Amino acid sequence: MCSAANYTTKNHYFGRNFDYEISYNEQVMITPRNYPLKFRKINDITTTHHAIIGISAGINEYPLYYDATNEKGLSMAGLNFAGYTKYHEYDSNKLNITPFEFIPYILSKYESVDDVKEALENINLVNINYSDKLPLSPLHWIISDSESSITVECLKDELKVYDNPLGILTNNPPFDLQMFNLNNYRRVSNKTPSNDFLKDYNLDVYSRGMGGIGIPGDLSSMSRFVKLAFTLTNSLSDDSEESSVNQFFHILASVEQQNGCTFIESPDKYEYTIYSSCVNTSCGIYYYRTYGNSQINAVNMHNENLDTDKLITYPLVNKEKFNFQN
């Protein structure tokens, strides 16, 4: 399971928690402008395109991105959507893109959400695995620029595209039901609530921090959607890079999963937040921290040669570094 969000101060920030029980040797990967992108059902090899930075699986021959941002500030992340995703058979009347190619295809070509929405009218997500050892994951996607976001879900009958006014995404159920569920929390506020329950009884304000009462605290995807909507809507920071990035990681921390709290299957598999990311989409700086390393690390795509034809990778720093002050 996972959670993704957008945050805007002076700059625009996009990122996510990657929650899973298995790591696939994730790494920061930069796809430069001249790296030849091959697509399974498109004859032409794309050799000139937008540069992309993000986190991918540890396979160096192809950018299998979990989430990424291109040099124009367009961002995209794939999140688990098991039980609802239905990839389709080849359609000769459509542009057939495999789900593992979806992020590199969109980010290599387009610069805005409006451009993507138009392109999606002709795209078919075709049911082709990357390999026998790496079958497709059931996903849905959030696609964002600095102005707007959409959610894309490949359902049984169609490729569904929703406007996403909150700029957030978690997992099941479908996005329209997640948004409808927010109606159940109309009374929630960041202020101490008034006594509308028993007006003839003097209910005590017994503690600070009573704003937000009624927000769910479990780790299910529906609860995380509500918690993320509340935290993001009420978040405050100044416009500095340090304050903005720090606040974004605090937003993601409100819905992170701790190892041991979400049992998956025997023997002893638990889902946890393997990494959290935050991209300054205006500057192309990819910040991340991992479960084993809470220090914020950064890779700036513009410090690399973006005109090369070779993938550029950085392994994630997973070991904690303590700052001793004496």
pLDDT digits (tens, 9 = 90+) for 214-258: 899 999 999 999 999 999 999 999 999 999 999 999 999 999 999
Please, which pLDDT band fits residue 76 given cuts at 50, 70 and 90?
very high
> CA–CA distance from 141 to each of 116, 152, 154, 192 (Å)?
12, 5, 9, 36
Distance separating alpha carbons of residues 12 and 285, to the nearest angstrom: 11
pLDDT tens per residue, range 149-186: 999 999 998 999 999 999 999 999 999 999 999 999 99
Choice between 171 and 60, residue whose per-residue pLDDT is larger:
171
Q: Which member of 2, 154, 278, 283 is catalytic?
A: 2
Identify the pLDDT of residue 157.
Answer: 85
pTM: 0.95
As a whole number, mean pLDDT of residues 194-210 equals: 83
- Is the confidence at residue 102, as pLDDT, over 90? yes
Please, which pLDDT band fits residue 284 given cuts at 50, 70 and 90?
very high
**Is 261 tagged catalytic?**
no
CB atoms under 10 Å from CB of 276, counted, come to 25
- Is the confidence at residue 45, as pLDDT, over 90? no
